[in-house]
Chains A and B, each alone.
Chain A
């Protein structure tokens, strides 16, 4: 069975600090996809990034960067120079295909608070 662990539950930082959100996953699949979603107070989960299991290149998008390490089954997310608008719950997720469906297995989420 797949599993996603986000060991950090709540993180509080001051604006402009860098912060890293950890994600560790377990799967027996050789082909899989990893995702990060952001859930602001408004409720909807917003897709941030997808990474497939064969692509270990790190990715940077503005202040966001992701570090995928297959050897340690980790897919960590770093926000550089955090801002108050980054305050949200962040979910890491792993997809698998079982039967007729692809399923997303989510971690419990990390609540990030960025203080002015």
Chain B
């Protein structure tokens, strides 16, 4: 247990559906991250939040919409996805987003399949 939980663990959705991924951290951290992990590719950083403010959007398509209501919770709202969006979506947290010293703590991920 890393102190970061994600729900659901698995999600299958059609291209016209709207769904949301949820991440919660119990570590008292101030920074939260969304990553996309596709097969045979490095982890891709999608979004960074620091003290609830978005500080990074790594050119992510608008069909992915993040929300961070507080430092402990992070959502990723999904709509009109494409099959190539199928991947493992990982959430992570760290004490502060600006520190290169701190390791990030990862959740178990949501395995998303878009039909």
Contact = CB atoms under 8 A, between A and B. Distances in A.
Contacts of B43: 91, 104, 106
Contact of B42 (A33, A44, A95, A108): A108
Contact of A107 (B42, B50, B108, B109): B42
A50 B56 CA distance: 23
Interface in A1-49: 4, 9, 31-33, 35, 37, 42-47
B114 interface: no
Given A44-B2, A47-B105, A101-B55, A109 B42 contact: yes
B111 to A, nearest CB: 8
Contacts, number: 72
User: Size band of the B side of the interface?
Assistant: 20 to 34
Contacts of B45: 103-104
B49 to A, nearest CB: 10
Chain A, interface size: which category? 20 to 34
Contacts of B41: 108
B63 to A, nearest CB: 23
- Which 6 pairs of residues, A with B, have the shortest CB-CB distance? A45-B106, A102-B100, A95-B100, A43-B108, A43-B109, A44-B108
8 contacts: A44-B107, A44-B108, A97-B99, A100-B55, A100-B56, A102-B99, A102-B100, A106-B42
Given A43-B111, A45-B92, 12 more contacts: A43-B88, A44-B2, A47-B105, A91-B43, A95-B100, A96-B100, A102-B94, A102-B97, A102-B102, A103-B56, A107-B42, A108-B42
